[in-house]
Chain A
């Protein structure tokens, strides 16, 4: 009975990660009185919400067989641009609209280059990542952009139904993308395209046009995260979002997406995001010695991957017990 349940559950979610997440959460709640408080839950959520929003776009990009390294740079450019537009008195709505358009067009440029040059997305987006961050430095000359109107601070600091607005936005976006990927014909192509682009092309799918869409979504979400960042800190600085793309990719991959494409889901990514957000907070709560935090972080990643592979093997019946799994060959 239990085995059946486990098997069923592991088809829908990353069971190894779920076990580690629940375990970590329980241990932390029992041991540290400051952990399981409403305030800390808010801090956990807000401490990773930018990455969480970007992870939704990254999930689609990765399922389609691509990767987008430029999102951290798009985030910083967007936070600076929205700041500069606001200071130029363009008004909140227009500033946000323009910023999202520019962010989206960076994604479009990524896709066009990948399509036209037939270059690997890793190289293309590595290029835009560097160039865009450089451009952010050019715009600011290293000084922070600051002094935004009061009304703008809602997007990063406001509350909707007692929940921070960015978190509400993330939940809405996650539900939307989940429905799109699961229940619409157009978006569910992504799995086929990601696992076999050649065959998808032969079936008459427009792989190139689909790629436009995935990279535009990814960059626009990064732009959204940038606007939230600027609003949250009432300031924008060219240092924002360094290494954010790595945290986002980690969240998506640890959730169970495959870098070779075709595998992944919004639900799994959300779990990955929640896990990383809790880990970051747990490090501080437990006072893990500062130079050890990355070691602890990395070992938890490895543990969850080991467990997930174990459950996957069990499900597919390749290796049936723990001994075989740990000691057996391939």
Chain B
């Protein structure tokens, strides 16, 4: 009887100790301020860069400012909304979120703002919500930067084929910007092909475009996937080294192709800056100044940079935030 009671007590103690250990291993019990980042794909390289920016900004703002990263490991906007609700209940001081879709998070974001918690969206916006600000790429400007770089590459004269697919507004904006960036030079867009947003379809579509327009000197991939497709297509028509390729973003296949000299450069967005500037704005919105109101701009363009073989190196190893702290 005595032994039984003992073992029962033991089992309860074990369960409590384990619960304690798992929960408090690195918990920030006495943090004075906590800011949470919510993403729709936890573990994604792109968002790891953003979280790195957020952490660095928090470090600059003070040792008592803690950051946390939340969100589902598989794309699910409703799970993101739940994460925001949990953070509101926890009483965090600010929420930085990239929206899994443009509408699902609206009720949760509005609830946070109503409770006085600043919310900044980054990369992917929830424009109809009451969020304080959005930090991300202005796609028209990104296209324009790409266009100007293309003029430089071709020494002011040449013909360009563009790979894109119909639908998404950000692609329409990029291409509009790209064409405006070419203005004032003798570089022209002579063809656009539909890559359906996929690598394999891009190879077929760009090959066909290059065959129909043998005069093309360069290919502009308007998003991440057609870059590697363009490399294969140029090989298919036997014009390796003759046609310049400009990719978008720095996914691993694009980085490798740049390393091998198959893609000359890529339009790099700045996820690090998105996280950095969002943290600064969320913190800033909490500060009192002589003039009332949260002083944050409605949106911030984090810009793009043309990355070539010389400066792509830094993106070969994304930051690893094992502890997420």
Question: Are A237 and B22 in contact, with the CB atoms below 8 A?
Answer: no
Contacts A40-B89, A43-B85, A239-B77: A288 and B102 contacting too (C-beta < 8 A)? no
B 1-40 to A, binary, CB cutoff 8 A, 1 in contact else 0? 1011101101110111011101111111101001000001
A27-62 contacts to B, CB under 8 A, are: 27-28, 31-32, 34, 37, 39-40, 43-44, 46-47
**Is A235 among interface residues, defined by CB-CB distance under 8 A?**
yes
Of the residues B8, B16, B34, contact of A23 by C-beta under 8 Å: B16
Question: Are A290 and B324 in contact, with the CB atoms below 8 A?
Answer: yes
Shortest distance between the CB of B323 and any CB in chain A (Å): 5
**Is A67 among interface residues, defined by CB-CB distance under 8 A?**
no
Shortest distance between the CB of B244 and any CB in chain A (Å): 32
Question: Are A287 and B27 in contact, with the CB atoms below 8 A?
Answer: yes
Shortest distance between the CB of A5 and any CB in chain B (Å): 11
Question: Are B85 and A46 in contact, with the CB atoms below 8 A?
Answer: yes
Contacts A235-B106, A321-B3: A242 and B74 contacting too (C-beta < 8 A)? yes
Q: How many A-B residue pairs have CB under 8 A?
A: 175
Question: Are B83 and A234 in contact, with the CB atoms below 8 A?
Answer: no
Of the residues B23, B70, B81, B325, contact of A233 by C-beta under 8 Å: B81
Contacts A289-B26, A292-B25, A307-B15: A284 and B34 contacting too (C-beta < 8 A)? no
Shortest distance between the CB of A48 and any CB in chain B (Å): 9
Question: Are B11 and A3 in contact, with the CB atoms below 8 A?
Answer: no
Question: Are A20 and B107 in contact, with the CB atoms below 8 A?
Answer: no
The CA of A44 and the CA of B107, in the complex, are separated in Å by 17
- A interface residues, tally (CB under 8 Å): 60
**Is A202 among interface residues, defined by CB-CB distance under 8 A?**
no
Contacts A39-B89, A233-B78, A300-B22: A286 and B101 contacting too (C-beta < 8 A)? no
Contacts A43-B88, A239-B101, A284-B83: A27 and B75 contacting too (C-beta < 8 A)? no
Question: Are A233 and B25 in contact, with the CB atoms below 8 A?
Answer: no
> Residue on A with the closest CB to B1?
A3
B 105-116 to A, binary, CB cutoff 8 A, 1 in contact else 0? 111000000000
**Is B236 among interface residues, defined by CB-CB distance under 8 A?**
no
**Is B173 among interface residues, defined by CB-CB distance under 8 A?**
no
Question: Are A237 and B74 in contact, with the CB atoms below 8 A?
Answer: no
**Is A73 among interface residues, defined by CB-CB distance under 8 A?**
no
Residues of A within 8 A of B40 (CB): 239
Question: Are B91 and A235 in contact, with the CB atoms below 8 A?
Answer: no
A 230-257 to B, binary, CB cutoff 8 A, 1 in contact else 0? 0011110101111100000000000000
**Is A119 among interface residues, defined by CB-CB distance under 8 A?**
no
Of the residues B4, B22, B43, contact of A288 by C-beta under 8 Å: B22
Question: Are A284 and B86 in contact, with the CB atoms below 8 A?
Answer: yes
**Is B290 among interface residues, defined by CB-CB distance under 8 A?**
no
Question: Are B76 and A239 in contact, with the CB atoms below 8 A?
Answer: yes
**Is B42 among interface residues, defined by CB-CB distance under 8 A?**
yes
**Is A91 among interface residues, defined by CB-CB distance under 8 A?**
no
Question: Are A286 and B76 in contact, with the CB atoms below 8 A?
Answer: no
Question: Are A288 and B27 in contact, with the CB atoms below 8 A?
Answer: yes
Question: Are B18 and A300 in contact, with the CB atoms below 8 A?
Answer: yes
Known: A237-B77, A240-B78, A288-B25; 10 extra A-B contacts, CB below 8 A, are A34-B89, A40-B90, A233-B77, A285-B89, A286-B23, A287-B31, A288-B22, A289-B323, A291-B322, A307-B11
Of the residues B12, B88, B89, B321, contact of A19 by C-beta under 8 Å: B12
**Is A322 among interface residues, defined by CB-CB distance under 8 A?**
yes
**Is B100 among interface residues, defined by CB-CB distance under 8 A?**
yes
A 266-302 to B, binary, CB cutoff 8 A, 1 in contact else 0? 0000000000000011111111111110111001100
Shortest distance between the CB of A227 and any CB in chain B (Å): 13
Cβ-closest 8 pairs across A and B: A290-B324, A322-B7, A296-B22, A284-B86, A235-B103, A40-B89, A43-B89, A289-B324
**Is B259 among interface residues, defined by CB-CB distance under 8 A?**
no
Question: Are A280 and B322 in contact, with the CB atoms below 8 A?
Answer: no
Shortest distance between the CB of B225 and any CB in chain A (Å): 15
Question: Are A299 and B18 in contact, with the CB atoms below 8 A?
Answer: yes
Question: Are B323 and A291 in contact, with the CB atoms below 8 A?
Answer: yes
**Is B87 among interface residues, defined by CB-CB distance under 8 A?**
yes
Residues of B within 8 A of A290 (CB): 42, 68-71, 324
The CA of A237 and the CA of B72, in the complex, are separated in Å by 15
The CA of A229 and the CA of B103, in the complex, are separated in Å by 13
- Which of A144, A287, A321 has the most chain B CB atoms closer than 10 A to its own CB? A287
Question: Are A287 and B68 in contact, with the CB atoms below 8 A?
Answer: yes
B 55-97 to A, binary, CB cutoff 8 A, 1 in contact else 0? 0000000000010111111111111011101111111000000
Contacts A27-B23, A290-B70, A321-B7: A235 and B104 contacting too (C-beta < 8 A)? yes
